[in-house]
Structure 1
Amino acid sequence: MDLYKEILTKILKEQKIEVVFLNLKISAKEIVEMECYRALQKIKSLMEDEGLEDKDYFIKIEKIVWVVEQLGSDSGSRHDFG
């Protein structure tokens, strides 16, 4: 599933389910853009600290992957360190 559909699926799963989305006042595009912007804000804040060593940057990358996963995207087997 592509990232757009993954994000939209996660957001819509959290909505009250009705046959028709009568109360949904924004489009699917606006929902995804809003969630992406929030994720980018979190990622940017993680990247702004320039005083970290390599091991600390690895931890930042882990947090960025977590933010993307929270959008509903599967990071695949490349993130399976366990």
Structure 2
Amino acid sequence: MEVEAAKLIGSGLAAIGMAGAGIGLGVLFGNYLQAAIRNPAAAASQQTMLFLGMALTETMGLFAFVVSLLLRFG
């Protein structure tokens, strides 16, 4: 039973990374909106970097999810 408990605890700890990805996305979009409101002419040129940052942040959240599932069911 101790191995199963360790798997559950490890899986839960790995899932915390998904919360970090959610916080990161909130910060990313919040800062983009602040910059777009201050300088609307430059917002279009920064949109590519916004999407790149969004993709990298979301990838880390998905990685945490996969590691959590691997620990739980592996």
* TM-score normalised by L of structure 1: 0.45
In terms of fraction of residues, the more helix-rich structure is 2
* TM-score normalised by L of structure 2: 0.48
Q: Which has the larger radius of gyration?
A: 2
Query: Which is bigger in relative contact order (C-alpha 8 A, separation at least 6)?
Result: 2
